[in-house]
Amino acid sequence: MAIFKGAGVAIVTPMNEDGSVNYEQFANLIEFQIANKTDAIIVCGTTGESSTLTHEEHLDVIKYCVEKVAGRVPVIAGTGSNATDTAIYLSTEAEKMGVDGLLLVSPYYNKATQNGLYAHFKAIAESVKVPVILYNVPSRTGCNILPETVVRLCKDVENIVAVKEASGNISQIAHLAAIAKGCVDIYSGNDDQIVPIMSLGGLGVISVLSNVAPEQTHMICQNYLDGNVQEALKMQLDAMDLCNALFCEVNPIPVKKALSFMGMIDNNLRMPLSRMEEATSARLEKAMKEYGIL
- Active-site residue set: 135, 164
CA distances from 268 to 21, 62, 78, 112 (A): 10, 20, 21, 33
For 201, the 3-state DSSP assignment is coil
The whole-angstrom separation of Cα 252 and Cα 258 is 10
The whole-angstrom separation of Cα 194 and Cα 132 is 21
The whole-angstrom separation of Cα 132 and Cα 122 is 10
Note whether 197 and 162 are within 8 A (CB): no
Note whether 46 and 12 are within 8 A (CB): no
Helices (H), the chain: 23-35, 55-69, 84-96, 114-125, 138-141, 147-156, 170-180, 194-198, 214-225, 229-238, 240-245, 253-261, 278-291
The whole-angstrom separation of Cα 157 and Cα 247 is 34
Residue 6 forms beta bridges with which residues? 204
